[in-house]
């Protein structure tokens, strides 16, 4: 099990607490510190079964200033998230071939 975690995000911290209380072993990936590859991000999108645009934090200034309103392909959006990981919605939890975005954090319990 993995959690893609941003310690500065309250929802991500709440998601981490849920995992810590679950007594399952899991790996914490601080994706803002260690880069995420295009392949890894594509795999996450496949597990979530969503389009790249659905994983973007559209209220981030990086998005508004550089990407909002532009005609972008899925590959362009994935590249934007790889280059600016702050754009990736969080937390993301992966367990046994399933994944969820922990918003609200309680949804994480559905894949434990």
| Domain CATH code at residue 105 | 3.40.30.10
Task: Give yes or no: 9 in active site.
Answer: yes
Cβ–Cβ under 8 Å, residues 109 and 31: no
Range of the domain at 72: 2-111
Count structural domains, the chain.
Answer: 1
Q: Which of 2, 3, 5, 9 is catalytic?
A: 9
Residues in the chain: 112
pLDDT score recorded for residue 35: 87
pLDDT digits (tens, 9 = 90+) for 46-96: 999 999 999 999 999 999 999 999 999 999 999 999 999 999 999 999 999
CA distance to 12, 16, 57, 93, per residue, from 76 (Å): 26, 30, 15, 24
pLDDT digits (tens, 9 = 90+) for 35-47: 899 999 999 999 9
pTM of the prediction?
Answer: 0.95
């Amino acid at each position: 099990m993995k959690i893609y975690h941003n310690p500065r995000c309250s929802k991500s911290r709440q998601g981490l607490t849920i995992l810590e209380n679950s007594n399952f072993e899991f790996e914490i990936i601080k994706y803002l510190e260690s880069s995420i590859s295009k392949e890894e991000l594509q795999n996450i999108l496949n597990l979530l079964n969503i389009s790249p645009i659905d994983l973007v934090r559209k209220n981030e200034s990086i998005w508004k200033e550089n990407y909002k309103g532009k005609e972008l392909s899925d590959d362009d959006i994935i590249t934007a998230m790889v280059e600016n990981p702050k754009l990736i919605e969080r937390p993301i939890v992966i367990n046994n071939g399933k994944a969820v975005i922990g918003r609200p954090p309680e949804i994480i319990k559905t894949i434990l």
